[in-house]
Structures are given as structure tokens and as C-alpha cells.
Amino acid sequence: MAPSFSGHVILVTGSTRGIGRAIAEALVERGATVAIHGRTLAQVEKVCSAIHPGRTIPVSADLSEPEAAGLLVDAVFRKGGRLDGLVNNAGAGRAVAFRGLKLEDWRATHRLNLESAFVACRRAYSIMRRARSGSIVNMASLAAHGPGRMMGADYAASKAGLISLTRSFALEAARFGIRCNAVSPGMVETEMTEGLTEENIRNLAIPLKRLGKPEDVANVVAFLISEEASYLTGQVIHVDGGQFMYG
């Protein structure tokens, strides 16, 4: 049976499309009230109506300004009355050669991918400590475990930093009953992979011989958030069709 989140309030950042939306849908299907986040409230409200108007909370924030992440967590806690889970999914990146990477672009990637997650974790920590429970999942990437390959060095470094943050947070928060894990997806069917041909996919040498689906990632995130994973913290789960076996 799928884990139940009845009565739980969970924030999923970057959840109006792609993997984030699939995560939100999976959690709502399992009974959670999910805070749907995006940059514009109109788009968020549209997604909430499509998923489940009664079990979604629309929230908007521009996480390219990391301080907004703390305000976002506060808004969800205020509207939902509690905060049982946080999924730091919001992020972005692009393929760029190292020689063409500018410092301002490096900093912008880290603000969105790493610093906003840090601020959200820190604020959620203060709420979850009082409840002495809670679960956080940070969305990393296969790129975090080696050279960026199809993504830039800024993206790879920000996601590697997110894995380190996950482990540091997990170690400190464990004594308060709070867990923190990370998920590293490989190539998933999203807007970022729309241009890939069948030949491109074969050349990726994915052992399971297909791209992942957003639902593949969402199911793992739902498990990690749930009490069924109550003895897992500080872990990184690869959802990549077996690509990480190559290192």
C-alpha cells in the first residue's frame, strides 16, 4: 500500500510543472495537503484547481532571491497550521561551457539551487523542532556526482553543495526526530529533455534503456517523506535508470 499523508501539510517548491508537479500530485493522491509553489500566483492557482482545490495551498515566491524562501515557508505554516514536510525542488540550469561561464551566472545558479534550499531548510527546521518531527527531501541531480556533462559546472556544483547540505542538516536535526534526504534524478522526461532523439537516448547508455518519468521520481520522494522511511536520513537516492553504476 502507498504511504498515507492524511492530515499532513507539505510544501513542494517549483511544483507547477515537471517533476515538482508530479511530486505534488503523488502527495495529494496519498492524502496530503500540498502547498503548490511557483513564481506567479495566477499560474499556481490554475495548477491547484487542476490537482485538487480542496487539498492544495497556492503560494508564490521568486526563489532567485533566497530570502524569499523563508517567507514562503512561513506563509505555508500560517495557512496550513502545520508543516510536516518540505521538498526543495525549485531549481534551474543550462548547458554552458566552463570557459563561457560568468561569475554572475554562477552566483545566480547557486542562489536559486542551493541558497534558497538552505534558507527554506533553516526556517522549516525551526518549525519542525517544536513539533519534534518532520521530513525534508532536497532535489539534487546525477550531475552532482561528477562532471556536469550535459549541464554547466555551476549547476553541478550547486547540486553537489545541496547533497553536502542535506547530510549536514540530517546529522544535526536527527536528535529532534527530523529527517533529511536527497534524490538525484538522471534524465527525466521534462522540458529539459524534449529535444533528445532516440539516438541521443541510446548514446546516454542508460541500463534501463529509457528516460525516467516524473512519476518515477515522485514515488521515491513520497516514500522518503513518509513514515515508511522513518529510519532513513542523510541518504542520497539515485533515480536514474542505473546510470550511476558507471560512476
* Residue 12 near residue 27, CB atoms below 8 Å: yes
Q: What is the DSSP string of 11-28?
A: EESS-SSHHHHHHHHHHH
Strand 134-139 and strand 178-185: the pairing is parallel
Cα 160 to Cα 144: distance, rounded to the nearest angstrom: 4
Cα 38 to Cα 16: distance, rounded to the nearest angstrom: 6
Cα 119 to Cα 125: distance, rounded to the nearest angstrom: 10
Task: Identify whether 231 is a catalytic site residue.
Answer: no
- Catalytic residue, chosen from 125, 155, 231, 246, is 155
Cα 106 to Cα 168: distance, rounded to the nearest angstrom: 23
Q: What is the DSSP string of 153-213?
A: HHHHHHHHHHHHHHHHHHHHHGGGTEEEEEEEE-SBSSGGGTT--HHHHHHTT-TTSSPBP
Active site residues: 155
